[in-house]
Amino acid sequence: MASLSSEEWRAICDKFTNAQNLTDVESRNDPENDPFRSKYKARELLREIYCLLKSFEPGEGEEDRGADISEQRPTEEPVDGQTEDWFSRGFSGDSPAGLRAAKLGAVEYYLGVNHVDTEELSAGQEHLMNCMKLLEGCRVSPENVSLFIHGRNQLGILWAGRDETETAQGFLETAESIYQRYMKEDGSPPTDMTEYFTTGENQLTHQERTKRFELAYTHTMYYLAQVYKNLGETERAATYCHNTLQRQLRFNQFSPMEWALNAATLSQYYITKGRYMEGRHCLSAATVISGLAGEIPSEAAAQESETESERREQLRQKRAEIARCWIKYCLNILQDSKKLLEDNIGELDTDRQDELKRARRQEEEEEEKGRKSAMLFGSEDTFDSIASLEEKVMCLLPLDFTEARSVFLVGQNYVTQAKEYFQMDGYVTDHIEILQDHSALFRSLAFFEEDVERRCKMHKRRIDMLEPICKDLNAQYYLMIRRQLMFELAETYNEMMDLKLTLANRQADTQSLDNHTIKKFNHLCSASAKYFQMFLDSLCSPEGKVPEHLEQEVLRPALVARFRVARLHSRLINSAPSAQLDSLNKSLENYKYVVQYCEAHPEAAAEVETELELSKEMVGLLPLKINRLKARMEANN
Amino acid sequence: MYVNSSGAQNGSYSLTFLGKKVGRHHSVAPAGKQLAWETTVRTTQDPVVSSRAGQVPVAAQVLDDLPGSVPEIREQRPCPIIHNTQLDQYDNNTAGKIRVFCRVRPVSRIEAAQSEAIVVHKVDDFSVTVETPRGQREFQFDKVFGAEASQEDLFHDTNRLIQSAIDGYNVCIFAYGQTGSGKTYTMVGDKEQKNPGIMPRSFNAMFDIIQQNSNKFDFKVSAYMLELYNDRLQDLFVSQSGEAHAQPQSHGQAKRVEIKRNRKGVVFAQGAETKEASSAQELYALFQQACANRHISATKMNVESSRSHLIVGIMVESKNMTNGSVNTGKLSLVDLAGSERAAKTGAKDHQLKEANSINKSLSALGDVISALSAELPHVPYRNSKLTQVMQDSLGGNAKTLMIANISPSECNLDETLTSLIYATRVKAITNNAQRNVESKEIAHLKEVIIKLKSGQTVEEEDV
């Protein structure tokens, strides 16, 4: 700073502080009709700084030339290419020329951001590129590395805004590799850009320098996550989201609830990919970190103050949301496992079960440990709590009832938690979705249960939780939900009916069924048919007219329901031939409907291929049976 | 809404929205439909708010349906029934559908003076084209209103929804678009109320219907009016100015308002005042009071008006005097904030969401993660109050009309729409039915068929 008097320097520093203040603080109060007033003022100050630096600091001859040359160089090549160069070529960052380039570059950077903020993108781009060009003459060093990263972050945002995602990607990926190389080769806390324009006593501590630098890189990760998302590279995008979260936690730059919800959301992504270990880790971290947001204020406290009430509401809601993510974890892992283990008619395939159990060997877990180290969340104080939460539920697919049950119980526990907040009154749809998940948990668990009677009881639990709600809900406002519930109830009754029969057959062996069993069976059969019918009725017009055309989203459900109703009617056990005849006719009617509908609407056939084929067969065969029954009835008369 | 959306993502959202292919209605409507539509339009009388002389021509409209709806519906009801306890004039299936009208406002004098290029053209009653730097794009709607369309014309096509609300439906009408595209004109009307918009006209229409049915039904009308600003609902019946005098810090202390529903489907604005109205004038007075409060709160907070949404909820309870049955319906009228703000803060798909420069929060990270897969089992965000409030009006059996207001020289119409659709996409119903869960049943039946075919008697074996 040979050629600048300390007074002049102080003036520059003041201007800079002013410009920062205008940009960050004042600009928030700008009036609607002059929204960039403060930013324009800041821009003027930055320009003045730039001119001052240019005129006052030509420095000691030769070393300065480098900077000038690089400034004059036109854009003959894209700025970002091999990172190698930045660590070897040019003059060192702490030389006078290097420092001068960094300072000028920083002013260009701030001018660039200023122009972008005020919607003058091309001018912004020019300044940012000037910054890059100035730095091109310098080697990466603690004095300038922060500017290297910040500048590219901004260029990344700028190009992405123009829909030039690949260009953005280039800048951001270069920023990433510069960071990594710098941390590997140097790693000392770099100068923050604001420090270029502070007087000696205002230098930052090492800790603060590191914090700011790391934050800039966290932003690089955050932007790259979006770039990859926009490019359709979801897997990579997820990794970068994960890294962003990891870094936020590591450098303690996060708000606990926001972080926890983001981690919980990420868990849902992993779940869809079947990566339960990652999903579990995210959820455990989400639960632990959400705890850092503090205790939920008591109801009494909430009544006292509006702030507390708001806080209570927020905390309860978000924790309940995290619980719901846990429910989905448990549910999905059970369902995935079921898919893997079921045979062609949806029963547990024990051969497959043995095979999978054998395959689940040590190495699998070893491999998971390797994967795990790359994704760990947590600081020293949270690490243990996260790990202990993880231990409470498995992340491998459960392969037998004991394992399935342990997952189920965890899920059920979260159901209780989630329901505490999402109560029926006020949160109808949420509450019901949780109940549906609870029912689905039972359904998955029942698959693993070998004892038929206990299996039956599990389905009964499903009925008990869903049936009252289906009855209670306003049919008009909750049409869609009720349709879902009707279908599920119909299927559950059907399932119970099958189980009762299996049980009866097993006990009675070859003997015919006793009256009590028949009564029970018929009850379940009718209940199932009733709900399928209710579903079908919900599709009718207010006058009860069956729609001529089924909307796409109800097409398959409606035809399947018809098919099932047909089936159920033919399964009713009637001792009286007349009643039997009646049932068979109803059955035929419904099979016919499926066939006729598909004839009238050929596009529907593809939706219900198997059902249609079977219905056609039955439409041909049932009349024979009906006729035989009629003949027998006449003969008996 | 549009069919030829910019990206595959958008396309899939529009396909699954409320289980309906919104915006495709015109494709099922036969060509002749347009004629039928046009001939009935002219029967409209002028429902002028101030005089309230004209009867709102509900009866005339029962016959013609919204464009593009399934033709058979009309045949179903040969004679118009004004108030029918059977819920609706049109088929049950229209519930849950979203209709999107597009209204192109006239070129303003300034624009004409500056000879701005007109980029939006109405092609026919169902589509507009927009010239973009990347070529021409066509957008399709349930109905397009050009610059020449009057307030009457527009209301004529929204009017029947008022009847639905009285019949017990959850009806929502909202306008959106950029600032200056004519939303407030569409919803509220001009300042002098020479050309009243949908809101005042709805008030009149509602009480007209009520009057016509007053000998059979006992009606009770009540309303809440809210402002949504900064993800916070404010009760507009509570005067901000009055409170401010008593307590300078009252803003942070304003009563918390939440919109909720109970199992009977009754929507209530918890913490907000609900006021009864016994005539259109009374309702309009309440509305004016709310607008005044909105204005005060806006200036006090130094709010850009374009960032605040106005939500008017009108509940109608009708008691059948013969059998005592009670029906509750709701009409939500929403004037959304300008959509361009959202675009600027990074709502556009391709833009990177920046770190907030002030508090360094990476607040959009959640959105990024949620966008990784369209099928996340649970998205723990109530991403915004607006979505929440709208969802309530969109889901299930609601009848919804969106009016996309666009100015002829601008073309930023898809942002808000895309995000709303994204936010409210509903999962396919009866998921169970979609999967092949009946394999057991099918296997069993296959056996039965084999037996039947081989001539075996299948009696109890069927079981």
The dihedral of CA A272, A274, A275, A276: what is its sign? positive
Give the per-residue pLDDT at B64.
Answer: 29
* pLDDT over 90 at A414, yes or no: yes
| Among candidates B93, B369, B446 on the partner chain, residue whose Cβ is nearest the Cβ of A269 | B369
Indicate whether B82 belongs to any domain.
Answer: no
Q: Is A632 in CB contact (< 8 Å) with chain B? A: no
Give the per-residue pLDDT at A508.
Answer: 65
Q: Is B272 in CB contact (< 8 Å) with chain A? A: no
Give the per-residue pLDDT at B367.
Answer: 75
Residue of chain A minimizing CA distance to B438: A345
Give the per-residue pLDDT at A325.
Answer: 97
Kindly report the CATH number assigned to the domain that includes residue B187. 3.40.850.10
B299 labeled binding residue? no
Indicate whether B78 belongs to any domain.
Answer: no
Give the per-residue pLDDT at A317.
Answer: 92
B182 labeled binding residue? yes
Token pair belonging to A259: 């972080």
Residue of chain B minimizing CA distance to A332: B377
Say what the ipTM of the complex is.
0.77
Q: Is B232 in CB contact (< 8 Å) with chain A? A: no
Residues of chain B with Cβ-Cβ distance to A505 below 8 Å are: none
Strands, E assignment, A491-590: none
Token pair belonging to A594: 């499926």
Give the per-residue pLDDT at A144.
Answer: 92
Domain ranges of chain A: 73-253, 556-637
pLDDT in tens, A472-513: 988 877 888 899 999 999 999 999 999 999 888 887 665 677
Tell me whether residues B428 and A222 touch, CB distance under 8 A. no
B242 labeled binding residue? no
Question: How many Å is the Cα radius of gyration of chain A?
Answer: 35
Give the per-residue pLDDT at B395.
Answer: 54
Give the per-residue pLDDT at A558.
Answer: 94
Strand partners, B131: B136
Give the per-residue pLDDT at B227.
Answer: 86
Give the per-residue pLDDT at A605.
Answer: 94
Residue A32 CB neighbour total at 10 angstroms: 10
Residue with the bigger pLDDT between B122 and A621: it is A621
Residue with the bigger pLDDT between A447 and B30: it is A447
* pLDDT over 80 at A575, yes or no: yes
Helices vs strands, H then E, count in chain A: 25, 0
Residue with the bigger pLDDT between A361 and B246: it is A361
Tell me whether residues A427 and B93 touch, CB distance under 8 A. no
d(CA B302, CA B37) in angstroms, rounded, equals 46
Residues of chain A with Cβ-Cβ distance to B96 below 8 Å are: 479-480
Give the per-residue pLDDT at B133.
Answer: 60
Q: Is B427 in CB contact (< 8 Å) with chain A? A: no
How confident is the model over A321-327, as a mean pLDDT? Answer: 97
Q: Is A149 in CB contact (< 8 Å) with chain B? A: no
Of A384-393, A407-416, B24-33, B69-78, the range with the highest mean pLDDT is A407-416
| Among candidates B270, B363, B368 on the partner chain, residue whose Cβ is nearest the Cβ of A258 | B363
Q: Tell me, yes or no, whether B7 and B126 share the same domain.
A: no
B454–chain A nearest CA distance, Å: 11
* pLDDT over 70 at A610, yes or no: yes
Q: Which domain holds residue B337?
A: 89-241+253-443
Give the per-residue pLDDT at A113.
Answer: 94
Residues 323-352 of B with CB under 8 A from A: 348-352
* pLDDT over 60 at A193, yes or no: yes
How confident is the model over A55-82, as a mean pLDDT? Answer: 48
How confident is the model over A282-299, as a mean pLDDT? Answer: 94
| Among candidates B265, B376, B382 on the partner chain, residue whose Cβ is nearest the Cβ of A476 | B265
Residues 584-613 of A with CB under 8 A from B: 610-611
Q: Tell me, yes or no, whether B61 and B196 share the same domain.
A: no
Q: Tell me, yes or no, whether B150 and B264 share the same domain.
A: yes
d(CA B306, CA B190) in angstroms, rounded, equals 17
How confident is the model over A251-270, as a mean pLDDT? Answer: 93
Token pair belonging to A348: 């547990």
Question: How many Å is the Cα radius of gyration of chain B?
Answer: 24
Residue with the bigger pLDDT between A403 and B406: it is A403
| Among candidates B93, B264, B352 on the partner chain, residue whose Cβ is nearest the Cβ of A226 | B352
* pLDDT over 90 at A302, yes or no: no
Q: Tell me, yes or no, whether B146 and B262 share the same domain.
A: yes
* pLDDT over 80 at A595, yes or no: yes
B179 labeled binding residue? yes
Q: Tell me, yes or no, whether B28 and B177 share the same domain.
A: no
Q: Tell me, yes or no, whether B49 and B98 share the same domain.
A: no
Q: How many structural domains are present in chain B?
A: 2
To test the contact with chain B by mutation, choose from A477, A500, A546, A613 the residue with the greatest count of B C-beta atoms within 10 A, namely A477
Reading chain B (463 residues) residue by residue, the pLDDT tens digits are 333 333 333 322 222 222 222 232 222 222 222 222 222 222 223 333 333 333 333 332 222 222 222 222 222 222 222 223 222 333 444 555 667 788 888 877 766 776 666 777 888 888 877 776 666 767 777 788 988 889 999 998 787 889 888 888 888 888 877 667 788 889 988 878 888 999 999 999 999 999 999 999 999 999 999 888 766 788 888 876 544 444 434 444 456 787 777 776 666 778 888 899 999 999 999 999 998 887 655 554 444 445 678 889 999 988 988 888 888 888 989 887 665 444 333 334 456 676 654 444 576 777 778 777 777 888 776 556 666 666 556 555 667 788 888 777 654 444 444 434 433 333 222 333 334 445 677 888 888 888 888 876 655 444 4
Indicate whether B457 belongs to any domain.
Answer: no
Indicate whether B76 belongs to any domain.
Answer: no
SS3 of chain B: CCCCCCCHHHHHHHHHHHHCCCCCHHHHCCHHHHHHHHHHHCCCCCCCCCCCCCCCCHHHHHHCCCCCCCCHHHHHCCCCCCCCCCCCCCCHHHCCCEEEEEEECCCCHHHHHCCCCCCEEEEECCEEEEEECCEEEEEECCEEECCCCCHHHHHHCCHHHHHHHHCCCEEEEEEECCCCCCHHHHHCECCCCCCECHHHHHHHHHHHHHHHCCCCEEEEEEEEEEEEECCEEEECCCCHHHHHHHCCCHHHHCCCCEEEECCCCCEEEECCCCEEECCHHHHHHHHHHHHHHHHHHHHHCCCCHHHCEEEEEEEEEEEECCCCCEEEEEEEEEECCCCHHHHHHHHCCCCCCCCCCCCCCCCCHHHHHHCCCCCCCCCCCCCCHHHHHHHHHHCCCCEEEEEEEECCCCCCCHHHHHHHHHHHCCCCCCHHHHCCCCHHHHHHHHHHHHHHHCCCCCCHHHC
Single out the residue in B11, B33, B65 at which a domain terminates.
Answer: B65
Give the per-residue pLDDT at A172.
Answer: 97
Residue with the bigger pLDDT between A431 and A3: it is A431
Q: Tell me, yes or no, whether B149 and B54 share the same domain.
A: no
B183 labeled binding residue? yes
Single out the residue in B31, B65, B99 at which a domain terminates.
Answer: B65
Q: Is A322 in CB contact (< 8 Å) with chain B? A: yes
Indicate whether B71 belongs to any domain.
Answer: no
Tell me whether residues A556 and B434 touch, CB distance under 8 A. yes
How confident is the model over A400-420, as a mean pLDDT? Answer: 97
Indicate whether B99 belongs to any domain.
Answer: yes
pLDDT in tens, A505-550: 887 665 677 888 899 999 999 999 999 999 999 998 878 889 999 9
What's the mean pLDDT when you consider all of chain A? 88
Give the per-residue pLDDT at A80.
Answer: 58
d(CA A385, CA A373) in angstroms, rounded, equals 16
Tell me whether residues B351 and A307 touch, CB distance under 8 A. no
- Taking a C-beta distance cutoff of 8 angstroms, is the pair A194, A211 a contact? no
CATH number (1.10.10.10, 1.25.40.10, 3.40.50.1370, 1.10.3720.10) of A73-253 reads 1.25.40.10
Q: Is B35 in CB contact (< 8 Å) with chain A? A: no
Q: Tell me, yes or no, whether B125 and B180 share the same domain.
A: yes
Q: Is A472 in CB contact (< 8 Å) with chain B? A: yes
